[in-house]
């Protein structure tokens, strides 16, 4: 007779990820239970609409619309919050953690907005809050930073954290399609979140950036404290010009720490990055995270950043950690006292203001196609001590032209001032568009 313990799991939410967790536990049950030394049972599944047809069949007695059957049920060992949102998910997560339960989540928006409180509640009540699936889907980046690279301090973490925007940029680059054409395809394929701003304005990737910042540096930053710019302004001309100059355009999360100044720059924005960088070659819906530690050097992880199977792989990995804990293994996450110490990592750590950034920049300026226009633009840039590295002009119908420029190293404050001056110039027809050129080696 088996002496294996049965661990009872309750799922809050049975959509894309929830059904993936069920399906993949069933698929690999034997190997999984062998590895964990425990039996797994998904005893309760809670949904909003019990009438909805699902791909995965659940025995009727385990299926309900009552979250209390998971959250307040003493027989449930692990609560998986896979419903999303920051309303009811917050209230239910609070309630489960206050009862000392282990909660596993994929909900990046919730952690970003309420992580500080929820981790504290978990620590105060002897529960735990696991979140591997909240950043970069199937890539085990949380475990990698928290455990595998624990010997390090992190000078630079950067990468691609939103598969939808990466898909759009890849199609624009490969097929010369416009942003709108590609967005239409991404919508048809179901890649775009219902709230499109999450993908297109960078908010989803910014949520993940905030989580990685806390994990690596012990500092919670608000979305309103960081640069967060999406991909809507990128055109085919930008991508083509970048390509001619040896760059790709990617939506990059950048978490850069200057240990000598105790400054931290956290940002999420489109950037030109040299094609020779590994991260630049990561296309389609894939995500990539490059982590530079002072001991290990640079490690790059690449994988599927979303989707049912990849995301459920990470949720099941957290379930596995929870099962080990329930069997008496020490917690793989920081304890309450350590959490206080952990936050001391961030003592005196200041966020670098955007204006203090330095680097190279790409500018696209729409102008009247007339004599002397380039000289006028150059003068405005020169007045801000910005020198040009490359200039390309493309005539557009109707007597207008696009100027695509790259600068030598300069200060962001100068670029911001120049943008204002340019916009006020009579020959400039629209607000100039500007992207940073990111060089990881210069960090
Ligand atoms: N999908 C991905 O690739 C992916 C990747 C990484 C992280 N995530 C995160 O994973 C979480 C789940 O995403 P998903 O794609 O699986 O979402 P989803 O397909 O929309 O599923 C959400 C599930 O939660 C249920 N639900 C919503 N509100 C509820 C409520 N008040 N009470 C009970 N059940 C409720 C829904 O019930 P009904 O089915 O009855 O409506 C549905 O089953 C989100 O936080 C998301 O950000 C998703």
**What is the reported pLDDT for 331?**
73
**CB 328: neighbour CB atoms within 10 A?**
6
How much helix, strand and coil, in percent to the nearest 5, is found in the chain? 40, 25, 30
State whether residue 1 is helix, strand or coil: coil
Is any ligand 1 atom within 6 A of the Cβ of residue 137?
Answer: yes
Q: Which residues pair with 50 in a beta bridge?
A: none
Is 326 within 8 Å of 102 (Cβ atoms)?
yes
Atom of ligand 1 lying closest to residue 84 CA: 45
Residues involved in catalysis: 208
Which CATH number is 356-442's, of 3.40.50.2300, 1.10.287.950, 3.40.50.720, 3.30.70.260?
3.30.70.260
How do residues 192-220 score in pLDDT, each as one tens digit?
998 999 999 999 999 999 999 999 999 99
| Ligand 1 pocket mutation pick from 12, 15, 80, 311 by most atoms within 8 angstroms of CB | 15
Tell me the C-alpha to C-alpha distance, in Å, between residue 329 and each of 156, 332, 334, 427: 32, 8, 13, 68
Does the pLDDT value for residue 335 go beyond 70? Answer: no
Atom index in ligand 1 nearest the CA of residue 65 equals: 33
State which ligand 1 atom lies nearest to the alpha carbon of 83.
Answer: 24
Q: Is the CB of 49 under 6 A from ligand 1?
A: yes
Over its C-alpha atoms, the chain yields an Rg (Å, rounded) of 24
Ligand 1 probe mutation, 18, 63, 83, most atoms within 8 A of CB: 83
Give the model's pLDDT for residue 398.
87
- Whether residue 336 is predicted with pLDDT greater than 60 in this model: the reply is no
Query: At residue 248, what are phi and psi to the nearest 5 degrees?
Result: -115, 160
State the CB neighbour count (10 A cutoff) for residue 12: 27
Contact 147, 334 (CB under 8 A): no
Is pLDDT of 1 > 60? Answer: no
Question: How much distance in Å is there from the Cα of 41 to the middle of ligand 1?
Answer: 20
Find the 117 Cα to ligand 1 centroid distance in Å. 22
The 3-class SS string of 164-193 reads: HHHHHHHHHHHHCCCHHHHHHHHHHCCCCC
Q: Read off the pLDDT of residues 46-56 as tens digits, 9 standing for 90 and up.
A: 999 999 999 99
Backbone phi, psi, residue 294, to 5°: -70, -20
Q: Check pocket membership of 52 for ligand 1, CB cut-off 6 A.
A: yes
> What mean pLDDT do residues 318-339 have?
80
Q: Looking at the DSSP assignment, which residues form a beta bridge with residue 253? A: 159, 268
pLDDT at 97 over 80: yes
- 269-322 pLDDT, tens digit per residue, is 999 999 999 999 999 999 999 999 999 999 999 999 999 999 999 999 999 999
Rounded to the nearest 5°, which phi and psi values hold at 235? Answer: -115, 170
- Please tell me if the domain spanning 141-304 has the same topology as the one spanning 356-442: no
Average pLDDT value for the chain: 95
If we measure between CA atoms, which residue out of 69, 78, 68 comes closest to residue 40?
78
Inform me whether the pLDDT recorded for 344 exceeds 80.
no
Write the CB contacts of 43 (distance below 8 Å, at least 6 apart in sequence). 8, 9, 10, 62, 75, 76
pLDDT at residue 337 is higher than 60: no
Residue nearest to atom 12 of ligand 1 (CA): 82
Length of the chain, please?
A: 443
Nearest to 152 by CA among 296, 290, 254, 262: 296
Residue 340 has pLDDT above 80, yes or no: no
Q: How far is the centre of ligand 1, averaged over its atoms, from the C-alpha of 16 (Å)?
A: 7
State mean pLDDT over 175-189: 93
Cα distance between residue 14 and residue 83, in whole Å: 7
Contact 79, 96 (CB under 8 A): yes
pLDDT (0 to 100) of residue 288: 98
Q: Are 242 and 250 spatial neighbours (Cβ–Cβ below 8 Å)?
A: no
What confidence category does residue 170 fall into, taking pLDDT thresholds of 50, 70 and 90? very high
pLDDT at 175 over 70: yes
> Ligand 1 centre from 17 Cα, in Å?
7
86 lines ligand 1 (CB under 6 A): no
Distance 195 CA to ligand 1 centre (A): 13
- CATH node for 5-137+309-343: 3.40.50.720
> 338 pLDDT exceeds 90?
no
- CA 187 / ligand 1 centre spacing (Å): 18
- pLDDT more than 70, % of the chain: 97
pLDDT over 90 for what percent of the chain? 91
- Per-domain boundaries in the chain: 5-137+309-343, 141-304, 356-442
Q: Which atom of ligand 1 is nearest to the CA of 307?
A: 3
- pLDDT (0 to 100) of residue 152: 94
Give the integer Cα–Cα distance in Å for 203 and 271. Answer: 16
For residue 88, the ligand 1 atom closest to its alpha carbon is 31
| 421 φ, ψ (degrees, to nearest 5) | -65, -40
Q: Does the Cβ of 307 fall within 6 Å of ligand 1? A: yes
The stretches of 327-432 forming alpha helices (DSSP H) are 336-344, 373-383, 412-423
In this prediction, residues 252-271 reach a mean pLDDT of 96
Instruction: Return the structure tokens found at 245.
Output: 């100059």
Average pLDDT of the segment spanning 136-143: 96
Q: Is the CB of 112 under 6 A from ligand 1?
A: no
Which atom belonging to ligand 1 lies closest to the Cα atom of 13?
Answer: 24
217 vs 157: CA distance, rounded Å: 11
List the CATH code of the domain at 141-304: 3.30.360.10
When pLDDT is averaged across residues 378-399 and rounded to a whole number, the result is 95
CB 18 within 8 A of CB 55: no
Q: For residue 397, what pLDDT band results from cuts at 50, 70 and 90? A: confident
At a CB cut-off of 8 Å and minimum separation 6, what does 39 contact?
2, 4, 5, 6, 7, 33
Q: pLDDT value at position 334?
A: 61
What angle separates helix 108-125 from helix 203-217, to the nearest 10 degrees?
A: 30
How far is the centre of ligand 1, averaged over its atoms, from the C-alpha of 81 (Å)? 8
Residue 193, ligand 1, Cβ within 6 A? no
* CB-CB contact of 38 with 6 (8 Å): yes
Q: What band does 3 get if pLDDT is binned at 50, 70 and 90?
A: confident
């Amino acid at each position: 007779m088996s002496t294996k313990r049965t661990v009872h799991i309750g799922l809050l939410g049975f959509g894309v990820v929830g059904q993936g967790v069920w399906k993949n536990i069933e698929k690999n049950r034997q190997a999984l239970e062998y590895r964990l030394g425990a039996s797994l049972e998904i005893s309760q599944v809670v949904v909003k609409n019990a009438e909805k047809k699902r791909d995965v069949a659940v025995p009727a007695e385990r299926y309900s619309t009552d979250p209390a059957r998971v959250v307040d049920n003493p027989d449930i060992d692990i609560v998986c919050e896979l419903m999303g949102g920051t309303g009811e998910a917050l209230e239910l997560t609070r309630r489960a953690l206050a009862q000392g339960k282990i909660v596993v989540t994929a909900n990046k928006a919730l952690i970003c907005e309420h992580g500080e409180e929820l981790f504290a509640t978990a620590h105060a009540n002897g529960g735990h809050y696991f979140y591997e699936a909240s950043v970069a889907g199937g890539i085990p980046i949380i475990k990698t930073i928290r455990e595998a690279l624990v010997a390090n301090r992190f000078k630079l973490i950067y990468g691609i954290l939103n598969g939808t925007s990466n898909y759009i940029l890849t199609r624009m680059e490969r097929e010369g399609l416009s942003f709108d054409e590609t967005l239409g395809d991404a919508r048809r394929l179901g890649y775009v979140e219902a709230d499109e701003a999450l993908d297109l304005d960078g908010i989803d990737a910014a949520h993940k950036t905030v989580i990685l910042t806390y994990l690596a540096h012990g500092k919670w930053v608000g979305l309103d404290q960081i640069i967060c710019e999406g991909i809507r302004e990128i055109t085919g001309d930008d991508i083509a010009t970048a390509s001619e100059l040896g760059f790709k355009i990617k939506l990059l999360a950048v978490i850069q720490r200057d240990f000598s100044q105790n400054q931290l720059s956290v940002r999420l924005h489109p950037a030109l990055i040299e094609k020779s960088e590994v991260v630049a070659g990561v296309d389609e819906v894939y995500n990539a995270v490059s982590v530079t530690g002072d001991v290990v050097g640079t490690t790059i992880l690449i994988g599927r950043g979303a989707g049912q199977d990849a995301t459920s792989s990470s949720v099941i990995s957290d379930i596995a950690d929870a099962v080990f804990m329930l069997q008496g293994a020490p917690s793989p996450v920081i304890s309450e006292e350590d959490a206080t110490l952990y936050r001391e990592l961030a003592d005196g750590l200041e966020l670098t203001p955007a204006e203090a950034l330095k680097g190279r920049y790409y500018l696209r300026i729409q102008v009247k196609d007339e004599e002397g226009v380039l000289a006028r633009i150059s003068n405005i840039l020169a007045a801000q001590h910005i020198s040009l590295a490359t200039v390309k002009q493309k005539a557009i119908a109707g007597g207008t032209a696009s100027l695509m420029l790259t600068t030598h190293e300069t200060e962001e404050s100068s670029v911001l001032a120049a943008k204002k001056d340019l916009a006020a110039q009579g020959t400039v027809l629209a607000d100039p568009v500007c992207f940073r050129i990111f060089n990881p080696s210069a960090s």
